[in-house]
Amino acid sequence: MRGNKTFPVAAIQMVSSISVDANLRRAQELVAEAAQQGACLVALPEYFCFMGRRDPDKLAIQETAGTGPIQDFLAHTARQHGIWLLGGTLPLQSEESGRIYNAALVFDPAGRQVARYDKIHLFGFRKGDESYDEAVSIKPGTPIAKTFDAPFGKVGLSVCYDLRFPELYRAMGEVALIVVPSAFTYTTGSAHWEILLRARAVENQCYVLAPAQGGKHENGRRTWGHSMLIDPWGEVISCLPEGEGVVSGDISLARIDEIRLSLPALRHRTQGIK
């Protein structure tokens, strides 16, 4: 057992607009609020920086990896507050002129980028008048599980629609925390969001931190919200149903150890089943 040490973390919920500058200002305020509450790790939602009127609009604000105002903002904010900052997602240039990578970047307390994950699974949905096809403007990332080392252990990276593919999380190995920045639609979120998040926590016996978009956007889209932190037993520690704000709670290494010791499902798992 690793003792009773805890690590405060926070998820930011936003209702991002079509203005990058306005979104960055709001993100700055909310991250500052989380940092003032003591969070050592803060995660922003998918598309925190921009929710365009049409999917291709994100091409106009794409940045080259390593340079650009959105990346500068993330690096500066992490350094300013001395926190680990998971920058939701932002559009990074790909090898294809008509598609971008939907990239999740991680910055350490010194403002250095320490990890990048490009969304692998691209959302497609059609029901009545509601239709989405991310593959039109997004290029999928290389299908490799991505993690980084935080002060409390290994953290697994994923984005939104990835949540429906449990094999991605198994490939991460034993992690202390999974982060899922998202912009779930109201339709799919109301049906499946909490179920899927709790399932990922239970089957991987780790914490899950899920920052989300949560409201009605200028482009007419309605996102589900319900940003939350879930413990390794699948219990919801904190949740914000809608609107903008901060969801916070503690990562307890003792809690992880307790659950994995009492129910050693990770050790019992048989690999290579066909």
Catalytic residues: 46, 119, 160
- The DSSP secondary-structure symbol of 122 reads P
Spell out the residues 6+ positions from residue 21 whose beta carbon is closer than 8 angstroms to its own. none
**3-state SS track over 257-270:** HHHHHHCCHHHHCC
Give the C-alpha separation, 201 to 184, whole Å. Answer: 18
Cα 239 to Cα 32, 40, 223, 245, 247: the distances in Å are 19, 19, 15, 10, 6
DSSP 171-235: TT-S-SEEE--B--BHHHHHHHHHHHHHHHHHHHTSEEEE-BB-SB-TTS-BB---EEEE-TTS-
3-state secondary structure of 134: helix
Cα 109 to Cα 5, 75, 157, 168, 246: the distances in Å are 20, 9, 18, 27, 19
Give the C-alpha separation, 89 to 147, whole Å. Answer: 16
The number of beta carbons lying within 10 Å of the beta carbon of residue 267 is: 9
Give the C-alpha separation, 71 to 138, whole Å. Answer: 19
- The DSSP secondary-structure symbol of 78 reads H
Give the C-alpha separation, 45 to 210, whole Å. Answer: 8
